[in-house]
Amino acid sequence: MSLLTQSFMLSLERGRAQWHLAAVLLLFGGVLTWLYVQANAVSPQRHFDYTRALRELRQGDAEINLEVFGNRLEVVRNYDHLAHAVLHTQQIANSLLDLPRFVSENERQDLSRRILALQLALRGKVDRVDAFKRENASLRNSLTYFPLAVDRLINATHLSVGLKSALEHYARHVLSFARDASAEREVQVLEAKRKLGRALADNPAGREDIQNLLLHGDLILRQLPLLNQDMYAIKSALPLEQLDALNAAYVQAHQHADHRAGIYRRILFFLALFLSTYLAFTLLRLAHGRQSLLRAHHEITRRYAAQQLAEAQLRLHATAFQNSHDGILLTDASGNILDVNPAFSRITGYARTEVLGRNPRLLKSARHDTAFYQHMWERLRQQGSWQGEIWNCNKQGETYPELLSIAAVRNQGGEVESYVAVFTDISRLKDQEAQLTRIAYHDALTGLPNRLLLTDRLEQAVAYAQRSGSRMAVCYLDLDGFKPVNDQHGHPVGDLLLVEVARRLSLCVRATDTVARLGGDEFIVLLQGLNSGSECEQAVLRILQAIDEPICINALRLNVSVSIGVAWYPQDNVDADMLIRHADQAMYRAKQSGKNRYYLFDPEHDVPV
């Protein structure tokens, strides 16, 4: 009976030990599973999508600014692209509230607060854009109505000659202010308005029409500087510092999440090692005779855990390598290519199999000389890294700019084992810079230099004439009969007519001369390096003859002429702005003399305005 009791108790203890072992294994399995989930909580794809949304938000803000500037400068005459850019940017800003799951609660609250503040700033920017569109449309209406009303009043028969002269003087200053809204021109407009008021007091005929014209002139005087201010206020409504702060906060949140995942991976490793040790110790107690098997099992378990950790790290590195938006290139110490990522093939056009074992000089373009590459390798040898802009050539033979960073990888002995090159194609940024420069300095319709570029070239031409003792001429051109073409055939035909006039003007001058469009049907021709007045006269006569030739547009035979005012330097020894004004005054004299002719400004007899 005693033996049976002892046997029963021994069996019961063994059963309890097995249950305890099963419970411990189940507990550790749950802990390990939870740790594994936490160690892989940071999703590279989700991180990539969110950072791409942040970049697209910055690009959307820049596109809104570009469209606003384009509409203000009348490069663009509709708001379709602006509305699309605003809607797209708002959608991106709203999507930012969907934060990745790996972001902690505290950082989630901070990021949500920043995103809400950014959305508030974006709504303010959108409100400013809506106000800008309304005010810009009002200004455009006044700018369109004003010259038409002036022409109608000047051609009216019931107005006196003095009143017409005062009206013409006032209109010229208002239109000059519309082209250059400076304080000096504002003073001139106000003075011209007072003169017109005095003339109107003496000649009450046409008072209602002139007062209506003055209302539009006052609107232009008041609205134009405000629109310029609104334009720059829109640009700064969504500060880049706020976008940078949001991006930095998200990067910090991602780093913290990645750091936490790394901690969980290390805990997972130590728990796995502890579990292996515990299992080995338990098996030793249960089966003293299986020492060799336990040692083998312990060794296999330890190696398996180490292999799992190594594979996890390799998968993480491979994910970053394969999914990187930037091109990555790995070479050995001799510069032979060991591996490239998919972004490399997308940017260069070379497949991975085409470049393995080859030297990166196959991407070399002719943009850089030998000294440039010598300096690059000298910097790599001395400092172990190099970073900068470089022009390379893709598989199709096209050159493209890229931002390149090269780093040397050294072994424990300090010897270079390999090189890692990371590069980004910045062609789009370069194209945007060129487009902005083109928009800022050229007329959108004709492609000719605008007033801004003309002013710069005119100042350079004056400086050159002073140094070299040569002569130059500023020719102010205004088309005769352009308004009837617009009224009869519409603005599209008028635009084609202006393009053809610009082409003919460009053919009439030398390569060193400049043809610019100020706006409407007004052009400036800058003639440089003239030796005598006859050269200027021949050029002006060529222009008169070229414009007087019939112009055929869409089966229409159109006839226009041009009135030209010429300011001759250094006989008219004034600055660049005054030369344009004197040429403008001479052009009006040419129109008054019968049109289709030119008039040379005489500093001694013509009174400057």
Q: Which pLDDT tens digit goes with each residue over 305-341?
A: 888 887 777 777 667 777 777 888 888 888 889 888 8
Among 87-96, 179-188, 536-545, 574-583, the range scoring the smallest mean pLDDT is 179-188
Amino acid at 589: R
Q: Is residue 249 part of a domain?
A: yes
Q: Is residue 1 part of a domain?
A: no
What domain range includes position 384?
Answer: 325-426
> What is the C-alpha to C-alpha distance for residues 403 and 504, in angstroms, rounded to an integer?
43
Whether the Cβ atoms of residue 567 and residue 601 lie closer than 8 Å to each other: yes
pLDDT at 436 over 80: no
pLDDT at 10 over 80: no
Write down the catalytic residue from 521, 548, 577, 606: 521
| Res 6: pLDDT | 55
Could you tell me the CATH number of the domain that includes residue 184? Answer: 1.20.1440
| Res 542: pLDDT | 93
Q: Are residues 51 and 126 in the same domain?
A: yes
- Write out the DSSP string of 92-130: HHHHTTS--TTS-HHHHHHHHHHHHHHHHHHHHHHHHHH
Q: Is residue 489 part of a domain?
A: yes
Could you tell me the CATH number of the domain that includes residue 482? Answer: 3.30.70.270
Q: Are residues 478 and 539 in the same domain?
A: yes
Whether the Cβ atoms of residue 320 and residue 44 lie closer than 8 Å to each other: yes
Q: Are residues 454 and 593 in the same domain?
A: yes
> What is the C-alpha to C-alpha distance for residues 233 and 227, in angstroms, rounded to an integer?
9
Q: Is residue 194 part of a domain?
A: yes
β-pairing, 556-558 vs 551-553, is antiparallel
Q: Are residues 412 and 447 in the same domain?
A: no
Which domain-ending residue is among 399, 426, 453?
A: 426
Return the structure tokens found at 123: 């709504």
> What is the C-alpha to C-alpha distance for residues 380 and 410, in angstroms, rounded to an integer?
12
Whether the Cβ atoms of residue 471 and residue 527 lie closer than 8 Å to each other: no
Shortest CA distance to 470 belongs to which of 543, 525, 535, 516? Answer: 535
Higher pLDDT, 543 or 191: 543
- Mean pLDDT, rounded, for 385-395: 86
pLDDT at 244 over 50: yes
Cα–Cα–Cα angle for 323, 337, 383, rounded to 5 degrees: 90
Amino acid at 6: Q
Q: Is residue 15 part of a domain?
A: no
Q: Are residues 349 and 477 in the same domain?
A: no
Q: Is residue 606 part of a domain?
A: no
| Res 514: pLDDT | 92
| Res 66: pLDDT | 82
Residue 85, helix vs strand vs coil? helix
pLDDT at 524 over 90: yes
Q: What is the 3-state secondary structure (H, E, C) of 359-408?
A: CHHHHECCCCCHHHHHHHHHHHHHHCEEEEEEEEECCCCCEEEEEEEEEE
- Mean pLDDT, rounded, for 356-379: 84
User: Could you give the C-alpha distances from 425 to 55, 348, 404, 431, in angstroms and in order?
Assistant: 15, 9, 9, 12
Q: Are residues 449 and 537 in the same domain?
A: yes
Could you tell me the CATH number of the domain that includes residue 411? Answer: 3.30.450.20
Q: Which pLDDT tens digit goes with each residue over 82-112?
A: 788 888 888 888 888 888 888 888 888 888 8
pLDDT at 237 over 80: no
**HSE-CB of 521 using CA atoms within 13 angstroms:** 25
Whether the Cβ atoms of residue 45 and residue 323 lie closer than 8 Å to each other: yes
- Mean pLDDT, rounded, for 105-122: 84
pTM, two decimals, is 0.40
- Mean pLDDT, rounded, for 432-452: 81
Q: Is residue 472 part of a domain?
A: yes
In which band, very low, low, confident or very high, does the pLDDT at 473 lie, cut at 50, 70 and 90?
Answer: very high
Whether the Cβ atoms of residue 508 and residue 539 lie closer than 8 Å to each other: yes
Q: Are residues 393 and 336 in the same domain?
A: yes
In which band, very low, low, confident or very high, does the pLDDT at 239 lie, cut at 50, 70 and 90?
Answer: confident
Amino acid at 8: F
Q: Are residues 120 and 254 in the same domain?
A: yes
In the beta sheet, which residues pair with residue 514? 526
In the beta sheet, which residues pair with residue 564? 477, 598
Which domain-ending residue is among 323, 345, 370?
A: 323
In which band, very low, low, confident or very high, does the pLDDT at 398 lie, cut at 50, 70 and 90?
Answer: confident
Q: Are residues 450 and 581 in the same domain?
A: yes
Among 195-199, 205-209, 220-224, 549-553, the range scoring the smallest mean pLDDT is 205-209
Q: Are residues 580 and 459 in the same domain?
A: yes
Q: Which pLDDT tens digit goes with each residue over 367-378?
A: 788 888 888 888
Higher pLDDT, 582 or 306: 582
Residue 515, helix vs strand vs coil? strand
CA dihedral sign, ordered 537, 538, 541, 542: negative
> What is the C-alpha to C-alpha distance for residues 311 and 358, in angstroms, rounded to an integer?
29
Number of domains into which the chain is organized: 4
Amino acid at 557: R
Q: What is the 3-state secondary structure (H, E, C) of 186-241?
A: HHHHHHHHHHHHHHHHHCCCCHHHHHHHHHHHHHHHHHHHHHHHHHHHHHHHCCHH
Q: Which pLDDT tens digit goes with each residue over 154-178?
A: 787 677 777 778 778 888 887 787 7
> What is the C-alpha to C-alpha distance for residues 542 and 581, in angstroms, rounded to an integer?
23
202 is annotated as an active-site residue: no
> What is the C-alpha to C-alpha distance for residues 115 and 76, in angstroms, rounded to an integer?
31
| Res 503: pLDDT | 94
Task: Report the mean per-residue pLDDT for the chain.
Answer: 82
- Mean pLDDT, rounded, for 463-486: 90
In which band, very low, low, confident or very high, does the pLDDT at 125 lie, cut at 50, 70 and 90?
Answer: confident
> What is the C-alpha to C-alpha distance for residues 122 and 398, in angstroms, rounded to an integer?
39
In the beta sheet, which residues pair with residue 471? 530
pLDDT at 1 over 50: no
**Percentage of the chain with pLDDT > 70?**
93
Q: Are residues 465 and 594 in the same domain?
A: yes
**Each residue of 428-437: b (16+ CB within 10 Å) or e?**
eeeeeeeeee
Q: State the Rg of the chain over Cα.
A: 39
Q: Are residues 450 and 576 in the same domain?
A: yes
In the beta sheet, which residues pair with residue 525? 475, 515
Return the structure tokens found at 77: 């005459």
Which domain-ending residue is among 235, 258, 283?
A: 235
> What is the C-alpha to C-alpha distance for residues 150 and 156, in angstroms, rounded to an integer?
10
Q: Is residue 6 part of a domain?
A: no
- Mean pLDDT, rounded, for 276-300: 75
By 3-state DSSP, what share of the chain in percent is helix, strand and coil, each rounded to 5?
A: 65, 15, 20
Amino acid at 466: Q
Spell out the residues 6+ positions from residue 189 whose beta carbon is closer than 8 angstroms to its own.
Answer: 170, 173, 174, 177, 217, 221
Whether the Cβ atoms of residue 189 and residue 111 lie closer than 8 Å to each other: no
Among 177-191, 194-208, 394-408, the range scoring the smallest mean pLDDT is 194-208
Among 71-85, 109-123, 261-275, 524-538, the range scoring the smallest mean pLDDT is 71-85
Q: Which pLDDT tens digit goes with each residue over 58-85?
A: 888 888 878 777 776 666 667 778 788 8
Q: What is the 3-state secondary structure (H, E, C) of 173-199?
A: HHHHHHHCCCHHHHHHHHHHHHHHHHH
